[in-house]
Amino acid sequence: MASDTPTEYLLELEDIEAGYGRAALVLRGLTVKVPAATIVCLVGPNGAGKSTVLKVASGMLTPRAGAIRVCGRDVTSNGPQQMLTSGLSHVLQGHSVFKEMSVEENVMLGAYTLKDKAEIAERAGFVKDLFPVVAERWSALAGALSGGQQKQVEFARSLMVSPQVVLLDEPSMGLDPKATQTVFDQVVRMRDAGTAVLLVEQNARRALETADLGCVLDLGRVHISGAASDLLQDPQLAELYLGGRPAEPAASTASG
Ligand SMILES: Nc1ncnc2c1ncn2[C@@H]1O[C@H](COP(=O)(O)OP(=O)(O)OP(=O)(O)O)[C@@H](O)[C@H]1O
Ligand SMILES: [Mg+2]
């Protein structure tokens, strides 16, 4: 009934149950929805299931129950290649550039499902405009780039297929503060250029400062969700996930 109905969401994960092999469920009735032109971030402790959510969305892991829809169309049983052509592109946790290949070759791997040469050239121009470092280092070996620059090559590769939603797993992992800032700025540019983002981050405060909407994952479900700016001000959330209380307007006298 829900499939093929008009929706304001580009991606809907609804009541998802998923796990690995015979092990216990990791996701237990998880619902996450990504509207257009939005960065939705998913935060939670190590092992909470954040990467598992993205694996389900990109078809790497088939859910045991629940539904996945892209623009209202049911894609629950799609495998990875079909999810890609349905509009979901996944940038994995960790680094996934091929260091001994050029930046160009790495980016073009993202176009392997495209046939039309004009479209491929148009997309290459688009990602080079969006990520200047990719254009500047187009012929260089990817392994010669810094970690933050390599992450931008991965972003560029993921955008070659014009995805509806790009799934980003811990893009700031292993980066210094300056490179982290650049990567988060680029996530905002991706959104502003028309691609919605489902962002998983350990750096919860930084992710919520960047995102429009946030979801806190706990025990395989979304525990709290809302505007990212509201979540940043939630005292309980700050205590549990953000490493301290929210910033207070006026300082009080310190004690003990
Ligand atoms: N390939 C796998 N096979 C079996 N169990 C797995 C596999 N991948 C993840 N798990 C288990 O699923 C649970 C959730 O893992 P997941 O990687 O989704 O967590 P995460 O929130 O992304 O953690 P992190 O912040 O450390 O990246 C963990 O208990 C983990 O051990
Ligand atoms: Mg993870």
Q: Is the pLDDT score of 4 beyond 60?
A: no
Which range of residues forms the domain containing residue 18? 9-94+165-241
What digits encode the pLDDT tens for the residues 141-200?
Answer: 999 999 999 999 999 999 999 999 999 999 999 999 999 999 999 999 999 999 999 999
**Number of domains the chain contains:** 1
Q: Calculate how far, in angstroms, residue 202's C-alpha sits from the geometric centre of ligand 2.
A: 8
Q: Which ligand is nearest to the CA of 217?
A: 1
Does 107 reside within a domain? Answer: no
User: CB–CB of 195/10 below 8 Å?
Assistant: no
Mutate to test the pocket of ligand 1, among 50, 168, 241 (most ligand atoms within 8 A of CB): 50
Residue 159 placed within a domain: no
Least confidently predicted of 25-34, 82-91, 94-103, 239-248: 239-248
Q: Is residue 47 part of a domain?
A: yes
Task: Round to whole Å and give the CA distance between 237 and 233.
Answer: 8
d(CA 124, CA 24): 43
pLDDT over 70 (residue 117): yes
CA angle (203 as vertex; 11, 91 as ends), nearest 5: 45
Mean pLDDT of 61-85: 96
Enumerate residues lining ligand 1, CB below 6 A.
Answer: 20, 23, 26, 44, 46-52, 93, 202
The answer to whether residue 2 is domain-embedded is no
| Structural domain contains residue 56 | yes
Give a yes or no: residue 205 inside a domain.
yes
Task: State the average pLDDT over residues 102-116.
Answer: 95
Does residue 145 lie in a domain region?
no
CATH for 86 = 3.40.50.300
The answer, yes or no, to whether residue 12 has pLDDT greater than 70, is yes
- Please report whether residue 136 resides in a domain: no
* Ligand 2 centroid from CA 10, angstroms: 23
Confidence of residue 236 (pLDDT cuts 50, 70, 90): confident
Burial category of 114 from C-beta neighbours within 10 Å (exposed 0-12, middle 13-18, buried 19 and up): middle
Can you give the pLDDT at residue 235? 84
Does pTM surpass 0.95? Answer: no
